[in-house]
A and B are shown apart, each in its own frame.
Chain A
Amino acid sequence: MRRPLILEFRLLFYAILGVIVPFGVLLYFFPVGTDFYWAWSIPEPRSAMLIGAAYLGAISYYLAALIQDDWQQVDNGLGGLILFSLVLLAATMAHWDAFRPYHPITLVWLAFYYGGPFLAPVLYRLQIERIGPATDEGISLAPGVRAWLIGRGVFYAVLALVGFSFADSIATEWPWAIQPLELRVFIGQIAIVSWGGLIAIRSRRAWPWHRLGVLLGGAIGGFQLTGLLISSTPYQGSSRLGAVLPLMFGEWLAVAIVLFVLYRRR
């Protein structure tokens, strides 16, 4: 039985869309103007697109969540929203000196990443009280698929932890000149993909639980791959991480395509 989202969740998702649409469009399509419009100055357009891709990818997630209006499909993603918010809040703490303290985007940025960890748990609780817990219905993931999701979840969790902790060193090996702040913000995307895998550890194995998370990872991967191709910033493919990024984004996209093809007609 499908359980709809409560009004408060729908309003929250509309509010999130109201933030991520302009964030994504600005950073991804106008990556050279960050001196003027962004919360901090991002010197390399490719870095702006790296961050913007996450917002563009997330649009598909929230639109799908609103259209599907199905608690089972949204339930798992809330942990990812909290995790993403906390990672970006930690990046903000680590690099607050780089921010323009009263720039409108800074204020929205702070509200966005303070808000997630506060609002998501409270609305989760309200959803359960009003509508009840999500049901575990739908086709179950094949054991091999589940193992793959868990494996990549653990891998990306370790990658995110190491990447966030050693962002200053990793920035020197990056295929273009990137600041540790942008790198730490990007780590939030790896964390969210990791979350999408780690939730497969839970006993709930039905495909609908994972559907939107897989969509999110795939959409971000697609925008990232496109961004690598179209950005004007030189890409040092021979650097240590030069080959890693396309492979990683390709994996995000491929997993989504394979799983949607696999479970589309079941």
Chain B
Amino acid sequence: MTEMQKSNFVQYGVRLVGLVYLGLGVLGFLPFDFLNPHHPEGVGARYLLNLVAVNALHNAIHLAIGVSGLWAAQRPNRARLWGRVTGIVLLLLFSAGLGQAAVEDFPKDQLLLRFLPLNSPGHILHLITGGLALYLGLASPSSRT
């Protein structure tokens, strides 16, 4: 039996979210305009895959989430804890980002706390992955019926 088959769906989900964030973190550091074009008209951020506003710090956070997720996915309890912590952090980030956007009359992109570029594709990414991570963190171990 492979490691993948032995792990449960919580570990599988945490591994998936971790892999995606790791991929986004790595891609975000590639300084190619066709991949991550620079958008000087707003807060001057690069748009990861022409979608998510990022800077070096934002990319580093994506990498940290990815690496920690892959590490946590190795053990069921660790994966569940990671899901709860990461889920809450990402959902708080979504709420704060959307709240700030509302206060600033929904600009194309924004700087959270003056250092973290965000935009609507980023907010929704945080919402979806945060919601999934929290679900994984709170899900009870499944048993085959």
State the A residues within 8 Å of B (CB): 92-94, 96, 101-102, 106-107, 110-111, 114-115, 118-119, 121-122, 125-126, 129-132
Contact of A131 among B12, B17, B121, B145 (CB under 8 A): B145
Q: How far does the alpha carbon of A231 sit from the alpha carbon of B20 in the complex, in Å?
A: 41
Q: What is the CB-to-nearest-CB distance from A28 to chain B, in angstroms, rounded to a whole number?
A: 25
Q: How far does the alpha carbon of A115 sit from the alpha carbon of B129 in the complex, in Å?
A: 8
- List 17 other contacts, CB 8 Å, given A102-B120, A118-B20, A130-B144: A92-B51, A93-B50, A96-B51, A96-B121, A102-B106, A107-B120, A110-B120, A111-B127, A114-B124, A114-B125, A114-B128, A118-B16, A118-B17, A118-B128, A129-B8, A130-B143, A131-B145
B interface residue count range (under 10 / 10 to 19 / 20 to 34 / 35 or more) = 20 to 34
Q: How far does the alpha carbon of A248 sit from the alpha carbon of B136 in the complex, in Å?
A: 42
State the B residues within 8 Å of A (CB): 8-9, 12-13, 16-17, 20, 47, 49-51, 101, 106, 108, 119-121, 123-125, 127-129, 132, 136, 142-145
- B20: which A residues are within 8 A, CB to CB? 118
- A107: which B residues are within 8 A, CB to CB? 120, 123-124
Q: Are A101 and B120 also in contact (CB < 8 A) when A130-B145, A132-B144 are?
A: yes
Per DSSP, chain B at the interface is helix
Q: How far does the alpha carbon of A111 sit from the alpha carbon of B121 in the complex, in Å?
A: 9
Q: How far does the alpha carbon of A129 sit from the alpha carbon of B76 in the complex, in Å?
A: 15
Q: Are A121 and B16 also in contact (CB < 8 A) when A101-B108, A110-B120, A114-B125 are?
A: yes
- B9: which A residues are within 8 A, CB to CB? 122, 125-126, 129
Verify A93–B51 contact, CB threshold 8 A: yes
Q: Are A111 and B132 also in contact (CB < 8 A) when A93-B49, A96-B50, A122-B16 are?
A: no
Q: How far does the alpha carbon of A21 sit from the alpha carbon of B47 in the complex, in Å?
A: 31
- Chain A residue at smallest Cβ distance from B132: A118
Q: What is the CB-to-nearest-CB distance from A127 to chain B, in angstroms, rounded to a whole number?
A: 9
What are 10 pairs between A and B in contact, CB < 8 Å? A96-B47, A96-B51, A111-B127, A114-B125, A114-B128, A114-B129, A118-B17, A119-B132, A122-B9, A129-B144
Q: What is the CB-to-nearest-CB distance from B36 to chain A, in angstroms, rounded to a whole number?
A: 11
Q: How far does the alpha carbon of A92 sit from the alpha carbon of B129 in the complex, in Å?
A: 18
- A114: which B residues are within 8 A, CB to CB? 124-125, 128-129
- A129: which B residues are within 8 A, CB to CB? 8-9, 142, 144
Q: Are A122 and B127 also in contact (CB < 8 A) when A96-B51, A101-B108, A131-B144 are?
A: no
- Chain B residue at smallest Cβ distance from A6: B142
- A125: which B residues are within 8 A, CB to CB? 9, 12-13
Q: How far does the alpha carbon of A94 sit from the alpha carbon of B47 in the complex, in Å?
A: 12
- B50: which A residues are within 8 A, CB to CB? 93-94, 96
- A121: which B residues are within 8 A, CB to CB? 12, 16
Q: What is the CB-to-nearest-CB distance from B132 to chain A, in angstroms, rounded to a whole number?
A: 5
Q: How far does the alpha carbon of A96 sit from the alpha carbon of B128 in the complex, in Å?
A: 19
- Chain A residue at smallest Cβ distance from B17: A118
Q: What is the CB-to-nearest-CB distance from A22 to chain B, in angstroms, rounded to a whole number?
A: 18
Q: How far does the alpha carbon of A20 sit from the alpha carbon of B9 in the complex, in Å?
A: 28
- B136: which A residues are within 8 A, CB to CB? 122
